[in-house]
Structure 1
Amino acid sequence: MKNWIKSGFVVAGMAAVMVGCSKDDDFWDWMIPETDDNPTTSQVSGFVYRPAVAPATDANVQQLRVPQGFRVNKFAENLGKPRIITASPEGHVYATDREAGLVMLLQDTNGDGMSDRRETVANIRQAHGLTIHEGKLYIVSVKELYSAAIRPDGTLEQPQMLIDDLPDGGQHPNRTIGFGPDGKLYISVGSTCNSCPEPNPEHATMLQANADGSDRKIFARGLRNTIGFGWHPQTREFWGMDHGMDWLGDNEQKEELNKIVEGATYGWPYIYDDGKYNPVDRPQGDTTYQQYRDLSTMPTLLYQEAHAAPMAMTFYNGTTFPGQYQESAFIAMRGSWNRSSPVGYKVVRLIFENGQPTRFEDFLTGFLVDNNRSHFARLVGVTVNNDGSLLVSDDTNGVIYRVAYQP
């Protein structure tokens, strides 16, 4: 087995002419003109580095790192490829396996911090996103949305289809869903590509609908792939982590934290980070980069490592973590492949102060081993269980990890 694969390439010559520049020239100004009247030139070094896969052995799990007072254990293992997870107030934990097309029910019935119950409660092709609302489990696949009443034992009534015409998947088929404080359902629909104008206006958006799937509309656009999102428990403001574009270099594009507001546009595919121009795609028609930037809402924060790949995000709503965690959100960083050295492969904490996000800090790390040549988890789902612990899913080795505060 190859331990790692590394390849480098240079993307150059988006036009026939390369122009010179002085050391004081701004790269993003002189290389990318506002219109097609002048050539566009850019040179980008791109890499592929995929760490080898290691097993989730006891030794590997024991070396995982969390803040003082916290402990990590396997909540469940041998689960196939668990993706998005959610938990009910009764401690019923649901997990999707997109590849197998099913929803699993897990439960810790004896309070030892490990699941001792597992059963399949729904079979839905490419099931991915999950959320619980008013006694029902909502499940979204690529093009379909279902709801199913939850029985007292955690099993489900027959799922009922609410929507059957969500946009095609393309590069980002992993729909996620959540209910806002307004009782509306929000559906994240990623782009079909890394960077391109989308013919379907519902791609690269956040959609809003009623709980029964009716009155669907575009809530916000220009979001490349906002898998993780949620509402601050006090301010009720809507926050989401958007995936940056690939093939712009090791440190471009950084992952974005956006405050998602109805009617706003967030720049993709033409504007990224704090207003930079994407050299690959120019706004269509007579619109210039500057005009599109003026129409776009800039991110509130940029995550410091490009290509870390933010996945699920949840605000902590338990009672067992120390008080400073009550305003925090936790984000699963799946891990990079499109840079010369790996980043991500961890859970980070998004810290809020006075209701506003201020910074990111590492919370659960150590999934990269062997001097970053191997990994034993690519994280996807994150949720808070009814005992106040944080659950995190890995679809590489089929494990759900549990982080509890046990000083």
Structure 2
Amino acid sequence: MSKHRPSSRQFPSPRQTSLFILGLLTVLLAACGADSRQAVSAGYGANPDLPAPVSTLVPTVNIATAKGWPEGRTPRAAPSLKVSAFASGLDHPRWLLVLPNGDVLVAETNAPKRPDDSTGIRGWVMEKVMGKAGAGTPSADRISLLRDTDGDGVAETKSALLTGLHSPFGMALVGDKLFVADTDAVLSFPYKAGDTTIDRATGKVVTPLPAGSINHHWTKNLIANAEGTKLYVTVGSNSNVAENGIDAEKERAAILEVDIASGVYRVFASGLRNPNGLAWQPESGALWTAVNERDEIGNDLVPDYMTSVVDGGFYGWPYSYYGNHVDERVKPQKPELVAKARAPDYALGAHTASLGLAASTGKSGVGSAFGSGMFIGQHGSWNRKPRSGYRVLFVPFTNGKPSGTPTDVLDGFIDSDDKALGRPVGVALDTHGALLVADDVGNTIWRVTSAP
């Protein structure tokens, strides 16, 4: 009787199997997405072209795999500008705050654990897709302080100002208090000019924020009013279009107004799917925000946007987009809300992931061409063909309103091999008027100034 010899075949490990499945799903998903039928530029401006929604079995997936910057490479600056690294070797830098003494704070952060946002095959695929795009690293949960001691445009020192946070994002300084927006609370810490470390134990909770085990859009940003009495805090939706139920969206897809003294807050504006950037427009004094709109109804819908925000304003989500364009996927509808939905002021292109927002102060650091307007950091699409975003834009303003077409400030974040060298996020102007850009894939803060 013959004997069976042991097989020499090596079976794939669980990790290899997962990678194979991810690769196969990515290919299948990408194959289902057709190219855009219009130019990206059609989705910009005060009156963007809004085509009919496109229904597909699965969403378009077009990932720019995160790669990082080779030695000596930088983004490409506009002809009148130059760019250099202010700080490098960071850990997923996302958001910036420039202090009055010139120190720069950077939130090194990423998503918290969200067990109920990655359930099922769709959630699992999205988790892997985001990891491939550079968003899968553990959160450093840290705010670092960068100091340019000799004024040469390069930070000579870096110190861990605050550690042990919980996916921190937005920051604001009001008097001798530093406010930090963790993913689940607004915190305050004592601060005096020149501090390089703050004891986490000195922090106090100003107010809890909507979070929980879904916490789909986890980033929370904040800005203070001129009087230093209120904070305005962004809270993104818990879903794409309320597929987790409207009860999961309580006080989300909104900007909250927090009374600093008491911690009491109210909904200031709602129907904003995922607001991130916040800025006060210098001429009008109005609050502006940059918003990520909904997905999965085509390459060209819905444009992300920036808009002025009015007290009590409703901006459509989830029932409608760009004013009263009804999203038929949302059931039941609310016609009474759709009727009063405000159209945004300025579209920033579909799926561009417009996150950062900074108002020009008219300082000379980037030249007179950028004297009045908004800088926008576009993190870039993962679900559009061809890709959109992956750049920093400037939109000129006149009399407090957008008044022209956008200008590229930085691009070149996608390499010739179709991989992402970097992805811009937060933008801020330093005390010299230069533009700082947080790049979370390149782990760098870029500094943009006028070219000689």
| TM bin (shorter chain) | 0.7 to 0.9
1:150–1:156 contact (8 Å) kept in structure 2 = no
Does the alignment pair 1:81 with 2:102? no
- Indicate which of 200, 207, 223 corresponds to 1:178: 223
- Indicate which of 381, 386, 390 corresponds to 1:345: 390
**Paired position in structure 2 for 1:400:** 445
1:346–1:367 contact (8 Å) kept in structure 2 = yes
Output the CA distance in 2 between the equivalents of 1:320 and 1:83: 22
Does the alignment pair 1:136 with 2:180? no
**Paired position in structure 2 for 1:365:** 411
Does the alignment pair 1:66 with 2:106? no
**Paired position in structure 1 for 2:9:** none
Output the CA distance in 1 between the equivalents of 2:233 and 2:51: 37
1:334–1:378 contact (8 Å) kept in structure 2 = yes
- Indicate which of 135, 147, 168 corresponds to 1:127: 168
- TM superposition shift of 1:280: 1.2
Output the CA distance in 1 between the equivalents of 2:429 and 2:177: 18
- In structure 2, the CA distance between the partners of 1:151 and 1:279, relative to structure 1 (3 Å rule), is same
Output the CA distance in 2 between the equivalents of 1:50 and 1:10: 12
Uncovered stretches (5+) of structure 1, i.e. residues with no partner: 12-25, 32-40
Does the alignment pair 1:385 with 2:385? no
Secondary structure of the structure 2 residue equivalent to 1:255: strand
- TM superposition shift of 1:54: 2.6
Structure 1 length-normalised TM: 0.85
**Paired position in structure 2 for 1:161:** 204
* Amino acid of the structure 2 residue aligned with 1:90: N
Does the alignment pair 1:224 with 2:267? no
- TM superposition shift of 1:150: 2.4
Q: CA RMSD in A?
A: 2.5
* Amino acid of the structure 1 residue aligned with 2:208: D
* Amino acid of the structure 2 residue aligned with 1:153: G
2:222–2:234 contact (8 Å) kept in structure 1 = yes
**Paired position in structure 1 for 2:65:** 52
Secondary structure of the structure 2 residue equivalent to 1:46: coil
**Paired position in structure 2 for 1:36:** none
Structure 2 length-normalised TM: 0.77
- In structure 2, the CA distance between the partners of 1:56 and 1:27, relative to structure 1 (3 Å rule), is closer
Does the alignment pair 1:331 with 2:391? no
Secondary structure of the structure 1 residue equivalent to 2:218: coil
Structure 1 residues 239-388: aligned runs within 5 Å:
239-284=288-333, 287-288=334-335, 291-303=336-348, 305-317=349-361, 318-358=363-403, 359-370=405-416, 373-388=418-433
Q: If each structure's helix is expressed as a fraction of its own residues, which one has the higher value?
A: 2
Uncovered stretches (5+) of structure 2, i.e. residues with no partner: 1-18, 35-49, 110-138
Output the CA distance in 2 between the equivalents of 1:269 and 1:258: 17
- In structure 2, the CA distance between the partners of 1:260 and 1:165, relative to structure 1 (3 Å rule), is same
- TM superposition shift of 1:166: 0.8
1:151–1:157 contact (8 Å) kept in structure 2 = no
Secondary structure of the structure 1 residue equivalent to 2:422: coil
Does the alignment pair 1:116 with 2:156? yes
1:45–1:249 contact (8 Å) kept in structure 2 = no
- TM superposition shift of 1:70: 1.4
* Amino acid of the structure 1 residue aligned with 2:190: A
